[in-house]
């Protein structure tokens, strides 16, 4: 149990470091890449449901500390994204690169829109990052998944749900 927690915590630390790298690269271009969402989906695919929901919540909470619009919005959206992933995971083979790219891109787009609508509900303003960030950021997020998924599975050793 403690080893599993350490592995998931190592994934979180790696995700936050990679998030900072991507922010440094893409923020001058006004593109938001969903690195933390990618790792939340990796955890959803490889760990149990409780670990995935908890991990997604803390990934969102990490982003909420740096957002200036709505505290708790990313935590809710990421938890809902993992919920949506669990609803469709039996219908899609997530081990292939193609489904990983398409599903991650679509979930990132849905998460961006959900965050915007939550902003409209709670702040009165639709929180929109721009169409270029929406489209290009979602594509980059999708392309990031097949690179980070094998890395997280192999080197950071997230155990599969079957291997618990």
CATH assignment at residue 128 = 1.10.1760
Q: What pLDDT sits at residue 163?
A: 43
- Residue 97, SS3 per DSSP: helix
For the chain, give the percent of residues with pLDDT over 70.
Answer: 93
Could you list the residue range(s) of the whole structural domain that residue 31 is in? 2-163
The string of pLDDT tens digits covering residues 33-64 is 999 999 999 988 888 888 899 999 999 999 99
The Cα 21–Cα 18 span in angstroms is 5
Q: What pLDDT sits at residue 156?
A: 55
**CB atoms inside a 10 Å sphere around CB 22:** 21
Structure tokens that stand for 70 in this block: 């709505």
Specify the DSSP class assigned to residue 127: -
Q: What pLDDT sits at residue 162?
A: 47
Scored b (16 or more CB within 10 A) or e, 86-125 reads eeeeeeeebeeeeebbebbbebbbebbebbbebbeeeeee
Structure tokens that stand for 91 in this block: 């219908």
The Cα 101–Cα 123 span in angstroms is 32
- Residue 103, SS3 per DSSP: helix
Say if CB 131 and CB 137 are below 8 A apart: no
Q: What pLDDT sits at residue 153?
A: 77
Q: What pLDDT sits at residue 105?
A: 95
- Reading phi first (left if > 0) and then psi (alpha if -120 to 50, else beta), residue 92 is in beta
Q: What is the mean pLDDT of the chain?
A: 88
Q: What pLDDT sits at residue 157?
A: 55
User: Structural domain tally of the chain?
Assistant: 1
């Amino acid at each position: 149990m403690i080893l599993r927690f350490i592995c998931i915590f190592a994934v979180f630390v790696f995700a936050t470091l990679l998030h900072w790298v991507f922010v440094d690269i893409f923020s001058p271009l006004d593109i938001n890449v969903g690195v933390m969402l990618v790792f939340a989906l990796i955890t959803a695919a490889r760990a149990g449901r409780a670990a995935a929901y908890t991990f997604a919540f803390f990934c969102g909470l990490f982003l909420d500390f740096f957002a200036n619009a709505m505290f708790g919005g990313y935590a809710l959206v990421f938890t809902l994204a993992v919920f949506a992933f669990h609803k469709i995971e039996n219908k899609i083979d997530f081990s292939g690169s193609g489904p990983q790219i398409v599903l991650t891109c679509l979930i990132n787009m849905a998460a961006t829109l959900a965050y915007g609508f939550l902003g409209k509900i709670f702040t009165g303003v639709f929180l929109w990052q721009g169409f270029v960030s929406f489209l290009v950021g979602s594509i980059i997020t999708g392309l990031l998944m097949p690179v980070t998924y094998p890395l997280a599975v192999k080197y950071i050793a997230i155990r599969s749900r079957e291997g618990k």
